[in-house]
Chains A and B, each alone.
Chain A
Amino acid sequence: MPHDHHDHLSPSGHPYRPDDDHPLTYWQQMEIAVRELLIEKGVTTAQEINAQIDAMDARTPSNGAAVVARAWTDPVFRSDLLTDASAATRAMGFDIGPMKLIALENTPDTHNIVVCTLCSCYPRNLLGLPPDWYKSRAYRSRTVKEPRKVLAEFGVTLPPATTVRVHDSTADMRYVVIPTRPAGTEGWRADELSKLVTRDSMIGTGLAKTPGAL
């Protein structure tokens, strides 16, 4: 009789995922009702809604990686980005909609990490949808209280002399971290450098990859 951990796995070797058969929650019903009313009243159309979903799905962390790599290689762009990250990313050709963005630059003395304690605000108009853990209660509550422990769990241990700055996205602004450019990348082109920039390094829970990690 099979009775080991394998009987929790599908033939493909992945855990079974139960069917999503539960009734709609209150807020799911509310979303459907409001969406259908907006369509019925001609405020928007199903095509426009789907186009927006497609546009959001097309946004990925590679957009942010291109911005970071350019900041590493183009001092004028870096300065523009730190002054007004919305204007600088738009000028680079990214459609970030109405997003108001601030870029936070890591230095040897300072490490920045972004969280939204109130909900799950994230620079999704640049980086796409946030990872699930970013929306978890554990990440949201612990990052403002014990950021170095959270960072250590992500594999990032900072020297005591480095100041950690936590940024809680509580209102209108969204934040993207410019990680420190890794050593050993002198002379690299921006398109090569962008391969070192991870999603987590732009949230602040990671560092950029080193050349050896590619």
Chain B
Amino acid sequence: MSNPQYMRVRHDMPPGHVRTPSYLRGKVGWIERTLGPFANPEELAYGRNGPALPLMRMRFTMSEVWGPDADPPDDTIDAEIYSHWLEPVEPPHAT
């Protein structure tokens, strides 16, 4: 994999209809692929049609999500996260 683009999922807990699983909020992953643009379900759920947003397939390691004791740490979780939930971060240092 060449130069993966790392992003952090916003660590927010807004009310209402949200498709960002709380177990991934605040976690750093990299973009596996870009999808969309798709209408934002946080708008659609309330009868509004906001602008379509890119949807990112983010990949996280088990150790990033569940801590260093995750077994095994290099297994991964992929999830679709809307772009407004993502903020750029520096790539983590290799350990």
Q: Do A and B bind each other?
A: yes
A interface residues with partner B (beta carbon < 8 Å)? 100, 117-118, 144-148, 160, 163-173
Residues on B lying within 8 angstroms of A by beta carbon are 19-21, 23, 35-36, 38, 41, 55, 57, 59, 65-66, 71-72, 74-82
Do residues B81 and A170 form an inter-chain contact, with CB atoms below 8 A? yes
What's the Cα separation between A169 and B79 when bound, in Å?
6
B7 to chain A, nearest CB (A): 15
Q: Given A166-B77, A172-B36, list of 5 further CB < 8 A pairs?
A: A117-B21, A144-B23, A148-B72, A171-B81, A172-B38
**Interface majority SS (helix, strand, loop, mixed), chain B:** strand
For A168, list chain B residues within 8 Å (CB): 21, 77-80
The tally of CB-CB contacts under 8 A between chains A and B is 60
Given contacts A144-B23, A171-B19, A171-B82, contact A163 B35 (CB under 8 A): no
Given contacts A168-B21, A172-B35, contact A144 B77 (CB under 8 A): yes
A-B contact pairs, 13 of them (CB 8 A): A118-B21, A144-B23, A145-B66, A160-B72, A163-B75, A164-B75, A167-B77, A170-B19, A170-B80, A171-B81, A171-B82, A172-B35, A172-B38
Verify B55–A171 contact, CB threshold 8 A. Answer: yes
- Docked pose: A171 CA to B66 CA in angstroms: 22
